[in-house]
Amino acid sequence: MRNKLGVNKMGLLDLANNTKAPTIYKTVRQLCHDYEGAYAYFQDRVGEMDKKSDFSWVKQDKAGDWVVRITLHSMPLYWKVEEAKPASTIEIKDPSGNVIETRPKQIGHTAYIVESYDAGVELLKALSNTKDADFKDVLTNAAEALKTVDEVELPNINDKAEAEFNKSKWVANLGEWDTKDAEGKTGQVYSKEKTNKMNQYKQLARRQLGYERAKVVVTLR
């Protein structure tokens, strides 16, 4: 661009090359619906922890034991599953309340006991570097369970929670389930109050549909 004297005019801004639009970065994880995907995800997570020298899957629990707890995305991995005692069954229902399956009540063991933090780290690295047959069985079962959670459980829980929320008194102040009720930096968002209520209804739906995970209860006196 030239001024009246024919000299190139240089502004202070290079708008053609030095601007950026807002960007959201998302980490894409493996789907984990089969052994291959679950094992690749496990190896990636162990590699990330190794780079940071922080193995968050190894912790000391309230009983004082060092344990390894692995998650596939947000689902805890069960190292072992046993029948609940006394034996009982759970009715699994669809969002309309129809029984679609009856299952034996089971207890999932989410913690693997190790001698120390370092022992837990060594175990994770060894499992990441070597395809252990027992761990393959554990991961295969976990991957199949996660597929059911993603494709059946969570959609049913969400549908049930939405239906119950939309019948509740909270609609008057917070709007229906899909209505974002607050203004955020980038537009409409769910308020903290509504988010908490939605999560409460999801937990209620989980119990009503039979998807709540059984746990061992220890009474302390």
CB 87 within 8 A of CB 105: yes
What residue spans define the domains of the chain? 35-209
Mean per-residue pLDDT for 177-204?
Answer: 95
Phi/psi class of residue 73: alpha, beta or left (left: φ > 0; alpha: ψ in -120 to 50)? left
CB 170 within 8 A of CB 197: yes
pLDDT, residue 24, reads: 62
pLDDT in tens, 12-60: 888 888 888 776 655 556 789 999 999 999 999 999 999 999 999 999 9
Check pLDDT > 60 for residue 181. yes
pLDDT, the chain, mean: 90
The one-letter amino acid code at 68 reads V
pLDDT, residue 20, reads: 81
- Percentage of the residues of the chain whose pLDDT score is greater than 70: 89
Between 221 and 160, where is the model more confident?
160
Which residues touch 204 (CB under 8 Å, ≥6 apart)?
161, 164
Mean per-residue pLDDT for 181-208?
Answer: 95
Which residues touch 125 (CB under 8 Å, ≥6 apart)?
46, 50
pTM above 0.85, yes or no: no
Which residues touch 185 (CB under 8 Å, ≥6 apart)?
none
pLDDT in tens, 117-175: 999 999 999 999 999 999 999 999 999 999 999 999 999 999 999 999 999 999 999 99
pLDDT in tens, 60-104: 999 999 999 999 999 999 999 999 889 999 999 999 999 999 999
pLDDT, residue 6, reads: 53
